[in-house]
C-alpha cells in the first residue's frame, strides 16, 4: 500500500481529523523546511498540489505533478514539464491517477534556462549596462 504524505498546517490537520476516519495510508505531517520538502518530492512517486512553486520543483526533478487548479502561471510545467492541470473534476483526477499508476505519465523535460545559471546571466546583463 502506497503511503500518501500530506504536509498540512496544524489548523488544517485539526479540521481533517474532525472529518472522521482518514485513510490509513494518509500521513498528515507538519509543514517542512525547504530542503526536507525537496527531499520528499525527489523521492515521491508523484505530487498532488495547488502550489505554483511545487509545479516548478516537480518539473525540475522530473516527478509527476497533478495540479488541482484550473490554470497556472507556470504553463511551461504543463507544456514541456511533468505537470498536468486537473482542476477539481473528479473523473479527470481519477483518470490521471490511473494513467500515473499504469506508468504512462509523461516524462517531461526541464525548460530552457532552468539550468541554475540565472545569476550568471543577470550579472552579465548588468555588467553590459
Q: What is the pLDDT of residues 33-73, one digit of tens each?
A: 999 999 999 999 999 999 989 999 999 999 999 999 999 99
Cell of 10: 496544524
**Which is higher by pLDDT, 79 or 7?**
79
pLDDT for 6 equals 86
pLDDT for 2 equals 81
pLDDT digits (tens, 9 = 90+) for 4-19: 888 888 898 889 889 8
Cα within 13 Å of Cα(4), Cβ side: 10
Q: Name residue 66's beta-bridge partners.
A: 48, 84
Q: Are 106 and 85 in contact (CB under 8 A)?
A: no
Using a pLDDT cut of 90, give the percent of the chain over it.
72
Q: What is the pTM of this model?
A: 0.84
Mean pLDDT of 10-31: 88
**Which is higher by pLDDT, 22 or 95?**
95
Task: Tell me: pLDDT of 1 over 80.
Answer: no
pLDDT for 38 equals 96
Q: Name residue 28's beta-bridge partners.
A: 6
Using a pLDDT cut of 70, give the percent of the chain over it.
100
Q: Please give the Cα distance from 115 to 94 (Å, whole number).
A: 34
Rg of the chain over all Cα atoms, to the nearest angstrom = 17
Helix (H, G, I), strand (E, B) or coil at 27: strand
Cell of 24: 490509513
Amino acid at each position: 500500500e502506497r503511503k500518501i504524505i500530506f504536509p498540512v498546517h496544524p489548523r488544517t490537520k485539526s479540521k481533517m481529523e474532525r472529518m472522521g476516519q482518514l485513510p490509513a495510508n494518509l500521513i498528515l505531517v507538519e509543514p517542512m523546511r525547504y530542503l526536507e520538502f525537496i527531499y520528499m518530492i525527489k523521492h515521491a512517486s508523484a505530487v498532488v498540489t495547488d502550489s505554483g512553486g511545487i509545479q516548478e520543483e516537480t518539473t525540475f526533478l522530473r516527478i509527476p505533478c497533478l495540479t488541482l487548479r484550473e490554470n497556472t502561471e507556470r504553463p511551461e510545467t504543463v507544456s514541456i514539464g511533468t505537470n498536468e492541470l486537473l482542476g477539481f473534476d473528479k473523473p479527470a483526477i481519477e483518470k490521471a491517477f490511473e494513467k500515473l499508476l499504469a506508468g504512462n505519465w509523461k516524462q517531461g523535460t526541464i525548460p530552457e534556462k532552468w539550468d541554475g545559471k540565472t545569476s550568471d546571466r543577470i550579472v552579465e546583463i548588468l555588467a553590459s549596462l
